[in-house]
A = this chain, B = another copy of it.
Amino acid sequence: MKCRRCRATAQVKLPSHHTGFCPECFDVFFSRQVAKAIKDHSMIRPGERVLVALSGGKDSLGLARELARQGHDITGLHVYLGIAGSSDQVLGKVDAFCQRESIPLQVASAPEEGLAIPLIKECLTRPVCAACGAIKRHLFNKAAMDGGFEALATGHNLDDETARLFANTLRWDDAYLADQGPVMPARQGFARRIKPLYRLGEYETAAYAFLAGIDHGTAACPYSPGASFTHHKELLAGLEERSPGAKLQFYENFLKRGRPAFEKAREAPPDLSPCLTCGFPTQRETCTVCAMREAVREAAC
């Protein structure tokens, strides 16, 4: 197969686009997909400052590099989870990446916030993943608000997004279906959340990271060796194989004709008021993250 743009030998094959590219032209293709996502959904307006959540994986580091290359004013944020034998290694990779790419890095430490994941895990009988997700979202948002960033970018790619959409659709979870999308607008106490990689699949983000020489973390979380949505991702990969482009169509058509129906039909979102402890908006007196912090403190006494 020849590169679609320059007719050199294609090294990155993209069946979903019925095409392939040489490394240089793949880079152009990738940049254009990110730029199109940002433009189509007004993700970043001129002069806005963007905080990029850096887990240390291929997606988030690739996203940060690409946003910086496109001239956006970005700062990286890494949430240090305090998991022995894993968190320090990940922080090292994120730090080295940011130095190499000259991207300013902030680190929010879950242990310093009284939220070390191993301690949270001990307080729970269910898997820690949902709590860890809530803590990360809380610390990301806190950093964005405290630092005056207009947008908070995450590295969710097309496979993440379609697997989540598929799970929400199998349950017909109308509240989530009214909300899911590449942009979650800002509202009181929450920065705008954006997903500029939503048009690109995992294979594409992996190829980008590889070609850019990004040294990213690859180890699975020791607390969650099986990635979430694995079966749904396999199933969607089967659909994509039979019908290239099916994933992006599923997602784009949802945005055009699915989400608007659920937005129109939903009742008003619940009222939020400031958490009595941290001040961030919540539906309860004390937000779930502060409740977890309190549970850890009590367990330690």
Contact = CB atoms under 8 A, between A and B. Distances in A.
Contact of A171 (B169, B173, B177, B253): B253
A246 B174 contact: no
Contacts of A173: 257
Contacts of A235: 235, 238-239
Interface residues of A, number: 26
Contacts of A231: 242
The 3 closest A-B pairs by CB, nearest first: A261-B265, A172-B253, A172-B258
A261 B262 CA distance: 6
Interface of A: 169-174, 177, 231, 235, 238-239, 242, 246, 249-250, 253-254, 256-258, 260-262, 264-266
Contacts of A266: 261
A262 B260 CA distance: 9
Contact of A254 (B172, B250, B265): B172
Contacts of A238: 235
22 contacts: A170-B239, A170-B249, A171-B249, A171-B253, A172-B253, A172-B254, A172-B257, A173-B257, A174-B257, A174-B258, A174-B261, A177-B261, A235-B235, A235-B238, A235-B239, A260-B265, A261-B261, A261-B265, A261-B266, A264-B264, A264-B265, A265-B265
